[in-house]
């Protein structure tokens, strides 16, 4: 098993520009240490409805109410501001930014556990005698004897057979080469929604991990 950079085609170049937008790193940094409720706030705001911050403060009294500690409120305000900055983009750009954010958040959290040097983006995984997948894996951890591969999604709706097959194929091919490879989905959505989505999927996923809005912290610990 070996890792390789994805081809620098037009899609990859466009997407790299999206990933490099400062708002993506800013949001990922804030959300890495956010509470589950703050992550729900970010998801709701970035779904893209009202851009009125006061409206969001009203909707989340547990984050902005008078009894909230100043430090917690300050972080919620920062998350609200960065989420509104992403929500305020056109539909297509917003969708791309949201995807890039989930990847950046995954990279940030994994880096805390394994060190930033071991974490990579947009990599293909190659196995002897097996045709390479066209699509790269969003995030990989490349360590001898403890490799990991992740596909990142904004919402549970993004889970489909192609994604599940690609992850499980990598795991199975690695097993054939007697190399451990942990594979998982990272979804910026509630676990319950993801379970509903997965329940209807016939693609093999019993050995594919699931990291959701509630359990993002598990990536770093």
Partner 1 sequence: MTTLAGQARDALAAYEALASLAEAIEDEWTYVTDLYATWRERIEELIDERGSEPVTTLEEAAIRRAVDEIGRISDPHRAIDWLSTFPQIVLVTLGERS
What residues line the site for partner 1 (CB under 8 A)?
37, 40, 43-44, 47-50, 55, 58-62, 65, 67, 155-157, 189-190, 192-193, 196-197, 199-200, 213
Q: Which is nearer to partner 1, 6 or 164 (CB)?
A: 164
| Residue 202 Cβ vs partner 1, minimum distance, rounded to whole Å | 13
Q: Which is nearer to partner 1, 65 or 116 (CB)?
A: 65
CA distance 176 to 90: 45
Q: Which is nearer to partner 1, 15 or 64 (CB)?
A: 64
State the DSSP string of 9-69: -HHHHHHHHHHT-HHHHHHHHHHHT--HHHHHHHHHHHH-----HHHHHHH-HHHHSTTS-
Question: 181 forms bridges with which residues in the sheet?
Answer: 147
| Residue 135 Cβ vs partner 1, minimum distance, rounded to whole Å | 21
| Residue 21 Cβ vs partner 1, minimum distance, rounded to whole Å | 21
Kindly report the backbone phi and psi dihedral angles of residue 146, in degrees, each rounded to the nearest multiple of 5, phi listed first.
-150, 50
| Six-digit token string for 66 | 């008078």
Q: Which is nearer to partner 1, 4 or 58 (CB)?
A: 58
| Residue 116 Cβ vs partner 1, minimum distance, rounded to whole Å | 31
| Six-digit token string for 195 | 């379970």
């Amino acid at each position: 098993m070996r890792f390789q950079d994805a081809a620098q085609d037009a899609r990859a170049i466009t997407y790299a520009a999206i990933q490099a937008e400062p708002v993506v790193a800013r949001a990922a940094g804030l959300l890495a240490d956010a509470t589950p409720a703050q992550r729900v706030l970010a998801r709701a705001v970035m779904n893209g409805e009202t851009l009125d911050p006061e409206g969001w403060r009203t909707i989340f009294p547990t984050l902005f109410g008078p009894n909230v500690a100043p430090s917690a409120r300050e972080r919620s305000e920062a998350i609200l501001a960065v989420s509104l900055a992403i929500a305020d983009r056109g539909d297509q750009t917003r969708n791309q930014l949201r995807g890039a954010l989930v990847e950046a958040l995954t990279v940030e959290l994994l880096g805390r556990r394994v060190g930033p040097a071991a974490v990579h983006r947009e990599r293909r995984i190659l196995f002897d005698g097996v045709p390479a997948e066209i699509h790269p894996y969003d995030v990989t951890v490349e360590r001898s004897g403890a490799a990991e591969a992740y596909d990142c999604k904004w919402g549970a709706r993004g889970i489909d057979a192609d994604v599940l097959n690609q992850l499980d194929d990598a795991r199975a091919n690695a097993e054939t080469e007697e190399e451990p490879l942990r594979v998982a989905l990272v979804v910026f959505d509630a676990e319950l929604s993801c379970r509903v989505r997965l329940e209807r999927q016939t693609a093999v996923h019993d050995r594919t991990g699931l990291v959701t809005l509630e359990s993002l912290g598990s990536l770093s610990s």
